[in-house]
Amino acid sequence: IAILYEPGLFPALLHHDSTEKEPVKQNGGVPQAGNIDEHLKIFRINITELVKDVNFSGVGVIDFESWRPIFRQNFASLLPYKELSVKIKQEKYPGKEKTWYESAAAEKFELSGWDFVNRTLTLAKELRPKAKWGYYGFPYCFNLNGSPNNTKENCDSDVQKENDRIHWLFNASDIIFPSVYLRTTITPDERLMLIRGRVKEAVRMANNVTGEPKPRPVLTYIRYVYTDTKTLLEKDDWEKGLNAMKEMGSNGVILWGSSDDLNSTEKCKDF
């Protein structure tokens, strides 16, 4: 497996340290202000250096999480992407209604963002054609994510419609990689619901693709620690979680961890 973390030069709003009040704009900050040719040039270099074997036939994951290609889904910590997008429109077209700015910003953001996402995946497949490529974390679901509005197993119908809007991403992907990282702030039953809902949505998108293979394989990302406490998953969560993934149609699992999870002898022994 080859995982490319924030490869290329995706437009992004970066905080290098906690003292910075304003984020630093990388490649324009938002996709509509970015240079896609410069991004793809760096991405080409990254793949050449990080996946040296041109005949690499394993799994290739593009792990890009700075912003989401659906404008509405850039909330919470990603809200600055929406704010900057609106600001750009306000500066260019003063005197319009608030709703006009939001609609125009969303349209421009998505048009440009989808181009970045799609062309990056296309180039990865062109450079390492024997690998099986996809993006980490898609499709998004947001079920049981801590919001009082997202307490059900199934993804909200609006989110499902948004996933349908980016069907091109799943058509272009060789593998779909939903993420079901768990935390202790929800109950064991809710953790199972989170897994079931997210895998179910991934399988739905995998079945709706055009072209072969249909359906696309689904490999579910799970972290071996709880994301809030960094303690190892309990046996019950492991067993029930893996069974739930299988029942919902996941073809396999990607067991992910950070280097910080295993940076001591004690942590390695516990693992």
> CB under 8 Å to 120, separation ≥6 — which residues?
7, 8, 10, 39, 40, 43, 62, 64
Q: Which of 237, 226, 225, 227 is nearest to 188 (CA)?
A: 237
- Measured CA to CA, the distance from residue 64 to residue 77 in angstroms comes to 15
pLDDT of residue 243: 98
pLDDT of residue 60: 99
Residue 72 vs residues 36, 50, 115, 168, 243: alpha-carbon distances, Å: 22, 33, 17, 18, 33
pLDDT at 16 over 80: no
Supply the mean pLDDT for the chain. Answer: 96
pLDDT tens, position by position, 91-118: 999 999 999 999 999 999 999 999 999 9
- Measured CA to CA, the distance from residue 29 to residue 227 in angstroms comes to 28
Amino acid at 25: K
Strand, coil or helix: 98: helix
pLDDT of residue 21: 77
- 6, 65, 102, 190: the catalytic one is 65
- Measured CA to CA, the distance from residue 161 to residue 8 in angstroms comes to 29
pLDDT of residue 222: 98
Q: Is 65 a catalytic residue?
A: yes
User: Where are the chain's structural domains?
Assistant: 137-271
- Are 46 and 123 in contact by the 8 Å Cβ rule? The answer is no
In our burial notation (b when 16+ CB lie closer than 10 A, e otherwise), range 50-78 reads ebeeeebeebbbbebebbbbbbebbeeee
Strand, coil or helix: 232: strand
pLDDT of residue 253: 98
pLDDT of residue 13: 97
- Are 115 and 200 in contact by the 8 Å Cβ rule? The answer is no
Q: If you average pLDDT over residues 36-43, what whole number do you get?
A: 98
| Domain 137-271 fold | TIM Barrel (3.20.20)
- Measured CA to CA, the distance from residue 4 to residue 45 in angstroms comes to 12
pLDDT of residue 100: 97
pLDDT of residue 178: 99
Q: If you average pLDDT over residues 213-229, what whole number do you get?
A: 96
- Are 140 and 163 in contact by the 8 Å Cβ rule? The answer is yes
| H or E element that contains 63 | strand 59-63
Residue 77 token pair: 């910590």
Residue 214 token pair: 């249909």
The whole model's pTM is what? 0.95
